[in-house]
Amino acid sequence: MNCLLLPPPRRVNAPVSESRPELALAALMMALATWLLCFTEPNILQSIDHLFFHQPNFHFLLTALKHGELPLWNPYIGLGRPFLGDLQNAVFYPPVYLLLLGEATGVFLLLWLHSFFGVWGMRRLTARLGADGATGWVAGAAFLLSGVLTSHLFVGHLLYFAAMCYTPWIFLHAIRLDEGWDKSVAARHALLTGLQLLCGHPQVFWLTTVGQGVFLVGRNLAPPWSPSAKQTLRSLARLAVVTLWALALAAVVLLPLFELNQFGNRGATTDAFINYGRLEWSHLRSLLLPTAFVSRHAHEYNWFLGPGLLLAGLLGLSRWRDRDARGLLLLALFALLLALGDQTPCYQLFKTTLPGFDSFRLHARAGLLVTFAMVLGAACLWPRLRAQLATAASTRLAGASSIALVLGPLLWNAAQAKREYSHAGFFSAPPEFPAQTALLAALPPTPGPDQPPPRVGFPWRALPANHGMIHRYADCDAYTSLFLQRPWDCLHILARVPPPDLARTALSVNIYATTPFPLPGAAQRFGYDPTNRIVLTNANPEPRAWFATAATGPFGYAEILVRLQQGHDQHGSPLVEDELPLTLATSPAPPRPVSFRKFSANELLLEVAAPSDGLLVLAEAWHPGWQAEVGGTVIEAIPANGWMRAFPLPAGQHRVRVFYEQGFLWPGLLISILALAGIGKFAWPAVQPPLAADG
């Protein structure tokens, strides 16, 4: 009798296709919907994270490529940090280069293509689960209009939204592989998963990958237990192969990212940090009632589905004898427990058994999987309800009513989110920055490629830190998911302000509370008077590069932080952590000026007159990969004063070329090329011609 719980086998990889007119109509409707939702006022280009993050990053990336340079290093934020090695910048995600057509055109095409891809994926997936074509298109629209996706879209998480649109296709391929190993399906599965990762948000990749594993367990584990357990293990092994293949495809950026993580400000995590932005039990009401955007992370808790879709989804997932419904139900329950963080006993289990669980914050983002499961549950319920209707007329009436009941509330919620999540909606101010206008007026004429960009320090609400990438000034602050640890530590210590423990995307706003020039050693040229709201110029700015004939140390990093806090003379006798190959004086001496002959993101050229052995010191962030070529000899940068780059130089007149080489870039590129070659070989096998008829 137990065998009756297993459904009869389905046709493996049953073909599902749409007519060309059907696809063309769907693409046209998605283009219209994208324009109406994103490019009527308030425009998506005025969304918060697009203004503060994507717009300057896109500008920096495209400008570098137009000048024939690889965007390896970004000198404009946080005293400098890697650019290509940060996965969020999506340097290796091909659709990003639609921005070459212009910002508005590129963003429109980016969102339209991913929206259509996501809707089409839901159409294919629901068909594979037994729904008809019309139901599949409605399910796709409901998925994209759900609170989870629209909240991220309208707050400006453009690439996060793009990554979520891969989810239906990835689960479709997981089902196909669950029903039988196929190299072409596995290759396409790896390609889709790798592209989702290259979108720039590893959290979506993590949720989707772990979610597939949970879904496959729920789909296969049922009496009789022995054969179902073996099938579960086979399916999980296939998923592991695909995941490793996808990771290899993205190795070109993942290997540099691992290096960046080692030197980032998220190395030590606490329970409080892990649970920052978790879902509260009270937030579950957002499934029925939208969440107002009243706090920084309110959009994370908007899981709105509406009463009709929520009820249909719950009913659809309750059919536990159906293996797909069972898998989706387990997926939804797992994602809910994941989102609630330490509010359930499962927290410690997840923390100890799920690799990467403690590396991410904002576990409320697991709502993606809850929404995904609910929409699929509702879509698979409809054919069974339709079968109970007596006439075609009643079927059409019920279908039209269901569409209105499902999509109507979602459209209303999307319109609310569009208004509230814009910059003007949240800050009650237009997306204009008077401090930036004043700063640009105060900046000297463009210094040219031979001089470093002037360094500033402003609160992030007065001046978006990342806009230095657009207007060519260097900001001590940044708006980024990963600040380099050394500048992070030293800037807060120099300002005598404790760093934020949870939100580590920007410096503490308290740094700027008392003085416009709070950062000794950072060579800050312009500051901001928060009381009078005016831009001030530093009449005697510190040098961006100098030659020191004395040094103090070697000391451990912790001791250097203590001495910086005590007011050590960073210029006259820099603090070092390594034994120097040269013998330097220990008594401070006035620093000697150094002339810049060239300043670009990845390379600097300097003229140094050294009266004796000493240190060339740059007030730019140290990171592995920075080197200097002096007289044909290449030397590695060493950290000085906790965060600066330094190079030991002998006495004499030197022309020094300082350059950056991204660690692990070329090995990662080779691995990615090999993975892509494998995908190209297996993903679309050549079609064999039919045999000729006899005679």
pLDDT digits (tens, 9 = 90+) for 667-678: 999 999 999 999
Residue 489 near residue 499 (C-beta atoms within 8 A)? yes
Structural element, H or E, at residue 659: strand 652-660
Decide if pLDDT at 47 tops 60.
yes
Higher-scoring residue by pLDDT: 430, 385: 430
- For residue 279, give every residue at least 6 positions away whose Cβ sits within 8 Å of its Cβ, in sequence order, or none: 300, 301, 336, 339, 340, 341, 363, 364, 366, 367
- Whether residues 467 and 420 share a domain: the answer is no
d(CA 437, CA 428): 19
Name the pLDDT band for 171 (thresholds 50, 70, 90): very high
Written as six digits, the tokens of 672 are: 């990615």
Q: Looking at residue 11, what is its pLDDT?
A: 40
Last residue of a domain, one of 537, 565, 586: 537
Residues 111-132, mean pLDDT to the nearest whole number: 95
- Specify if 413 maps to a domain: yes
Strands (DSSP E) contained in 30-155 are 73-74, 81-82
Q: Grade residue 292 by pLDDT with cuts at 50, 70 and 90.
A: low
Distance between CA atoms of 151 and 107, rounded to whole angstroms? 17
Residues 413 and 453 in one domain: no
Q: Does residue 4 belong to any structural domain of this protein?
A: no
pLDDT at 688 over 60: no
CA torsion through residues 188, 193, 194, 199, sign: positive
CA distance 408 to 339: 27
Place of tokens 């000899």: 633
What pLDDT is recorded for position 403?
A: 83
Whether residues 413 and 449 fall in one domain = no
Q: Determine, yes or no, domain membership for 71.
A: no
Out of 27-31, 179-183, 425-429, pick the least confident.
425-429
pTM of the model: 0.93
Within this chain, do residues 116 and 173 fall inside the same structural domain, yes or no? Answer: yes
How many C-beta neighbours within 10 Å does residue 37 have? Answer: 21
Mean pLDDT of the chain: 90
Answer whether residue 307 is part of any domain.
yes
CA–CA dist 547, 524 (Å, integer)? 19
**pLDDT at residue 544 is higher than 90:** yes
Instruction: Kindly state the average pLDDT of the residues 231-252.
Output: 97
Looking at per-residue pLDDT, the higher value among 277 and 250 belongs to 250
Residue 447: the pLDDT is 58
Domain check: are 498 and 567 in the same one? no
Nearest 5 degrees, angle CA 51-CA 54-CA 60? Answer: 110
What does the pLDDT average to over 165-185?
97
499 shares a domain with 387: no
628 and 592: one domain? yes
CB of 66 within 8 A of CB of 476?
no
Task: Evaluate if residue 590 carries a pLDDT over 80.
Answer: yes
Least confident of 39-43, 135-139, 426-430, 691-695: 691-695
- The DSSP code for 54 is I
Helix, strand, or coil here: 692?
coil
418 with 447, same domain: the answer is: no
The predicted structure's pLDDT at residue 420: 86
% of the chain surpassing 90 pLDDT: 73
Rounded to an integer, the average pLDDT of 639-666 is 96
pLDDT for position 9: 39
Identify whether 398 is part of a domain.
Answer: yes
Say yes or no: 410 and 527 in one domain: no
Q: What number is the average pLDDT over the span 200-217?
A: 96
Is 629 exposed, middle or buried (CB count within 10 Å of its CB: 0-12, 13-18, 19+)? middle
Least confident of 6-15, 413-422, 684-693: 6-15
What pLDDT is recorded for position 138? 94
Whether residue 5 is predicted with pLDDT greater than 50 in this model: the reply is: no
Number of domains in the chain: 3
| pLDDT tens-digit map of 311-350 | 999 999 999 889 999 999 999 999 999 999 999 999 999 9
Structure confidence at residue 10 as a pLDDT band (50, 70, 90): very low
| Residue type, position 552, single letter | T
In a domain, 46, yes or no: no
Residues 551 and 586 in one domain: yes
pLDDT tens, position by position, 463-498:
899 999 999 999 999 999 889 999 999 999 999 999
468 part of a folded domain? yes
Mean pLDDT of 369-379: 96
Question: Over the range 575-606, which residues count as b (16 or more CB within 10 Å of their CB) and which as e?
Answer: bbbeebeeebeeebbebbebebeebbbbebbb
Q: Which tokens is 526 given?
A: 């312009």
**Same domain, yes or no: 520 and 631:** no
Residue with tokens 């204009």: 432
CA 619 to chain centre: 28
- Separation between Cα atoms, residue 18 and residue 121, nearest integer Å: 12
| Domain residue limits at 187 | 86-254+276-426
Same domain for 621 and 554, yes or no, is yes
**DSSP secondary structure string, 530-584?**
TTTTEEEE-SSPPPSEEEESB-B----HHHHHHHHHTT--TTTS-BBSS--SS--
239-247: average pLDDT? 98
pLDDT at 298 (0 to 100): 82
189: helix, strand or coil: helix
Using the predicted structure, report yes or no on whether residue 55 has a pLDDT greater than 80: yes
Which of residues 369, 395, 426 is at a domain's end? 426
- Binned at pLDDT 50, 70 and 90, residue 394 comes out as low
Residue 267, in any domain of the structure: no
Mean pLDDT, residues 622-645 taken together: 96
The pLDDT value recorded for residue 297 is: 76
Instruction: Say if CB 260 and CB 86 are below 8 A apart.
Output: yes
Residue 427 has pLDDT above 90, yes or no: no
- The answer for residues whose C-beta is within 8 angstroms of residue 294's C-beta and 6 or more apart is none
Q: Which of 512, 537, 562 is the last residue of a domain?
A: 537
